[in-house]
Structure 1
C-alpha cells in the first residue's frame, strides 16, 4: 500500500474550496470547463490519510505507552503518568466523509462510496465515543444546513452505539449491492486495498465484531449475543478475514513523511529512551514466547554471548516506575530496547495494523467462550496466535511448539479459557490497533496494568479522556448537560462511561 501525503491533499482541497467560495454561481454554471466539485475518490483518499496519520495513534506513539507496550525513560520527551487531558473530536473528517457521499450521488459507482462512507461514520463515532462517552450525533454537522445548528446537543452513548451498529449493518448490505453493479469492480482513491471491495467488506465485518465485543457488558441492552451470532454463523452474508493478508494496515517507505517512526535516522535520538514495557515483555517471558527474540533486544548488562537466548536477559521497564531511576538503569544497559534489526535497520519498519485478522479470531473465540455462538473456540484462539506469529515471520515449528506450552493450551470455555484469550489478544496487539489494547483492559481488567509512583492519577488507570476545551467555549450548555447526565457534572477521567458499567 502506498501512503499518500496528507498535506498535499489538504492543500488541493483548500484551493478548490477557495475557488468555489469566491466564484459566482452563474460563472460556474456557464463555463463547462470549470470544476464544480471534488471527486469522491480524492475525498476518500483524504479520509484514509486521516486514519493513517492520527497523531497519537501509530507505532511507538503515546497511545502505545498508554497500552503499556513500551515506556519512556526521559521525562523531557514524555511520561506515563496517566494524567490525561482532552481527546479530539473528528467532525472535520466526518464532514469530508459526508462530502464524499454527496459527491458520489448520481454516479454509477455511488453504492460503493456510500458503503465506505457508512463504515467511516461508524468508525469515527466509535472513535470519539469510546474515548469520551456521550457525543453529538443527531444534530452534528448541521451548521451549514437550513436548520443551521451550531451548538449540537449530545446523544447518550447507548444511542450512539445503536447508530454505529446500524451503520455497520447497512454498510455490509450496501457493499454487497455495489459488487453486483456495473462499474463497481474497484473503488478509486483507495490506497489501503487498491479498490478491492471484497477486502473492504471483510474489514467492515471484522470491525463490526470489534465493536460488538467492546459492548460485551451491554449484551442485555443491545442484544449483542444475537448480533455476534448473526455475523459468525452466516459467512456468505458477512465475509470475514481469512488470514493476515487481509489485514487493514499502513505500510511505510523511504519517502519523506512516510518513514517508520523508528528508523536509521532516529536511532541516535530514541534508542536508549524507548524501552519495552514489562507488562508486555513479562507475558512473553512467562510463556517462552518466540516473538520476544523478534521484537526486543536483550539488556546488554545481563546478556551472555554463550547463552544468547537466555530469557533472563530480557528485562522490561515498569510503567509505574519513576523515570529518574529508569534513566539511570537504561544508561547502565539494564533494559531491553526495541529490536535494532527489526525497527532501526530500514525506513519501512513493519506494517501498522489498523484492523487485523488476529483480533478478529480472538473476538470470535471470546464470543464462543461466552456462549454467544457455536463453534470451536480453541481453533479460533489458535488461529489468532498463529496469525500474530506469522506477522513476525516465526518459523512454523516454533509456532507449533508454542501452542503445546501448558500455559498456552486452551483451557476450555470457562473463565480460565477467557483469560487466555484476552491475554494473548493483548500480546498480539503489540504496537498496533490504536487504543484497543487499553480498551480491552478497561473492559475486562486483563492483563493487569502496572501502577506505581510515576502514576499521577491517584494510583488509577483512567477510564476516559476529557472533552475538548473548545466545547466549553462554544457549546457550553450542551457539554455541561452531557457531563451532568453521565459523570455527576465533572469532566473526570476516572468516571465510568455507559459501555463499561
Structure 2
C-alpha cells in the first residue's frame, strides 16, 4: 500500500510541476515577440543573400578593375578562409519548417523554391572550397559535427533539387497556385522563378564540363533534356527575365556613386584582362564603362574615341608602378560619368539572360545539345551591349571626363552597326563548333560578366583558362592564380576532425589554395 501511495504522490507531483511550468511560460510570454515567422519574410531575407555586390574582391580577382593604392585595397590572390552561406542555409530550412507548419496551398511555392535555393547556395559554397557538410548539416542541431559530403555528391544533390523544384513549379503553375509573397526581384511571379531555376541548372551543368565523361553524372543528357523541352523547362527569353539587383537613390545605392567619388574614383582603374580585350575588338562597351587614358591620347595625338586610348593595367603590376602610370594618364579609369554621377548606375545580375545565351552556345558547341550556337552567341553579345545602351542601328553616346574639370564631360556620338562595325571582324565572327568558336563564346561570356554574377568570371577561368589571367608581383601567391579558398578558420575549431578527413581526401591533408578541387581535376 505504501508503494502505491508513493507512485500516486509521484504522479501528482509531476502533473503539478508540469502545470506550474506551463503556467510560468504562459505568464512570461512576450506578447510583442512572434513565436513564428511567416515564410515570406524569411524568403525575403534569403533571396537578398543571393546578391553579390560589384566593386568587391570578386571584381578584382576576375581582373575587371585593379586597385592602384595600397591603403584602399590590393590585387593579391593570397586567399584565406572562404565566406560561406550556412546562416542562409539555416534560414532556408527554417522557411521549410514554417511553410510546412502552415500547410496547404500557401506553403507549396516556398517549398518548391527552397529546393532551388539550397542548390544555389550549396553550389556557390562548394565552388569556393570543394567538399562541404551538406547531408548532415541541413539537419541543424541534430549533429554539431557533420561529415563533409563529396563535391561530386553535392552537385548531384543540387541537380536533383533543381529538377524537383522545376517539377513542383510546373504543378503549381498548372494548378493556378502562384501565391508567393516577399519577392523583390521578380514581382512574386512563379513562372519567372521557374525560368531562373532552369537557367541556373544549365549553368550548374556547365560548371562540371571537365567531368563530361563521368557516366554517373549524365551531363549531356540533362543539358539536352532541358534545351529540347521548353514546355517542361522554360528558360529566360529576354533581359526582362533577369534575376537582378536594382538600386535606388536612398537605401540601396550602387557601390560606386557620387558620394564616394573623391575616395574611390582615382584609387581604382581598369584592368587589362578586361579592358584591353574590349579595345582590341573595337568594342563600344569600352566607351560606356571606362575613360580614355588622357596621357596616351596626348602623347600620340589620338582622338578620344580611338580604342587605343582604352588601356587597362596588368593586375599583377606593382601597385606603386601602377599608381604612377595612372597619375600620368597611361591607364584608363573607371567611367566616372556612368558610375559616379548618380546613385543607381546599372543593375547587378545574379543570373542573367546574356549568360544563358552564352551557356546555350557553349553547350551546343560542346555537342551537349542540338541547336544553332552562332545564333545564341550573337544574341548574348547583343543583349550585353544593349545593357550598356549600345544597340544596332542607333548612335552610341559616349561621355569622357574633361581633364582638370571637376564634374564636366565631353560627349561624343558614334554610329553603330552590329554586323558591319563589330560582328564582321574575324576575331568576333563565330568560328564554328570548334575550339576556336568555344574560345570566342567564353571570351564574350567573360565580357558580359563585368561587375555582376559574383565569382562566375573566376569560375570560368578556373574551368576553361579563358581568358588568360595576368600575374606578377602585385598578385602575390608566387605568380599563381589560386584554385580554391581555404576552409573558414571556424571549421578547424568546431569540426576539426571531420575537416581533417575532408582535407586528407581532397588535398593530401593540406588546406592549400593552389590544389585543385575535384570539379576542375
1:281 aligns with 2:267: no
> Are 2:431 and 1:431 aligned?
no
- Residue 386, structure 1, aligned to residue 406, structure 2: no
Give the alignment partner of residue 437 of structure 2, picking from 417, 427, 445. 417
Distance in 1 separating the partners of 2:498 and 2:269: 42
> How far 1:379 moved relative to its partner?
0.3
Query: Does the alignment pair 1:157 with 2:144?
Result: no
**Correspondence list, 1:291-302, <5 A:** 291-302=285-296
Distance across 1 between alignment mates of 2:178 and 2:133: 35
Rounded to whole Å, the distance in 1 between the matches of 2:356 and 2:335 is: 27
Q: Find the partner of 2:163 among 164, 169, 173.
A: 169
Corresponding position of 1:132: 129
Report how far residue 31 of structure 1 moved: 11
Contact 1:126 1:164 in 2 (8 A): yes
Question: Aligned partners of 1:91 and 1:255: how far apart in 2?
Answer: 30
Work out whether residues 133 and 157 of structure 1, in 8 Å CA contact, stay in contact via their aligned partners in 2: yes
Q: Following TM superposition, by how much is the alpha carbon of 1:36 offset from its aligned partner in structure 2, in angstroms?
A: 3.0
Partner of residue 99 from structure 2, selected from 104, 108, 114: 104
Any conservation in 2 of the 1:186–1:194 contact (CA below 8 Å)?
no
What's the offset of the Cα at 1:96? 0.6
How far is 1:107 from its partner? 3.5
TM-score, normalised to structure 1, is: 0.91
Q: What's the CA shift for 1:181?
A: 3.3
Residue 253 of structure 2 is matched in structure 1 by 259
Q: What do the CA deviations read for 1:147-175 (whole angstroms, capped 9, x no partner)?
A: x2100000111111100100111110111
| C-alpha contact (below 8 Å) 1:278/1:319 kept by paired residues | yes
Unaligned runs of 5+ in 1: 1-21
Q: Flag the 1:440–1:34 CA change in 2: closer, same or farther, 3 A.
A: closer
Distance 1:357 1:202 in 2: 10
Question: Hey, what's the Cα distance between the residues in 2 that align with 1:445 and 1:278?
Answer: 16
Unaligned runs of 5+ in 2: 1-20, 394-415
Q: Give secondary structure in 2 for the equivalent of 1:317.
A: coil
Please name the residue that 1:51 is paired with: 50
Residue deviations 1:470-500, cap 9 Å, x none?
0100101000000000000000000011110
Contact 2:106 2:179 in 1 (8 A): no
Cα RMSD of the aligned pairs, angstroms, is 2.0
Conservation of the 8 A alpha-carbon contact between 1:101 and 1:114? yes
Give the conservation status (yes or no) of the 8 Å contact 2:357–2:377: yes
- Alpha-carbon distance in 2 for matches of 1:196, 1:143: 30
Select the residue among 259, 266, 271 that pairs with 2:265. 271
TM-score by length of 2: 0.87
| Greater Cα offset, 467-476 or 401-410 | 401-410
The Cα shift of 1:248 comes to: 0.6
Q: What is the aligned partner in structure 1 of residue 241 from structure 2?
A: 246
Deviation, structure 1 residue 87: 0.4
| Cα 1:30/1:253, change in 2 over 3 Å | closer
- The alpha-carbon deviation at position 308 of structure 1 amounts to 2.2
Who is 1:201 aligned against? 194
Equivalence map 1:339-354=2 (5 Å): 339-354=335-350
Among candidates 167, 186, 207, match of residue 214 of structure 1? 207
- For 1:23 and 1:83, the matched residues in 2 are separated by 55
Q: CA deviation at 1:59?
A: 1.1
CA–CA separation in structure 1 for the residues paired with 2:372 and 2:87: 43
Shift in Å, 1:220: 2.2
Using a 3 Å threshold, how does the CA distance of structure 1 residues 27 and 364 change in structure 2: closer, same or farther? same
Spell out the pairing of 1:60-75 with structure 2 (5 A cutoff).
60-75=55-70
1:450 alignment partner in structure 2: 470
Question: Aligned equivalents of 1:180 and 1:35: distance in 2?
Answer: 34
Cα shift at 1:32 = 11
In the other structure, the counterpart of 1:12 is none
Cα 1:260/1:30, change in 2 over 3 Å:
closer
- Aligned to 2:497, the other structure's residue is in SS state helix
Q: Name the CA shift for 1:476/1:332 in 2 (closer, same or farther; >3 Å).
A: same
Q: For residues 487 and 33 of structure 1, what CA distance do their matches in structure 2 show?
A: 51
Q: Which residue of 1 aligns with 2:352?
A: 356
1:312 Cα shift? 1.7
The 1-side partners of 2:23 and 2:83 are apart by 35
The CA distance in 2 between the partners of 1:88 and 1:334, in whole Å, is 36
Matched-pair contact (CA < 8 Å) for 1:28–1:36: no
User: What is the DSSP-based 3-state SS (H/G/I as helix, E as strand, rest coil) of the residue aligned with 1:43?
Assistant: helix
Check conservation: 2:302, 2:309, Cα contact below 8 A: no
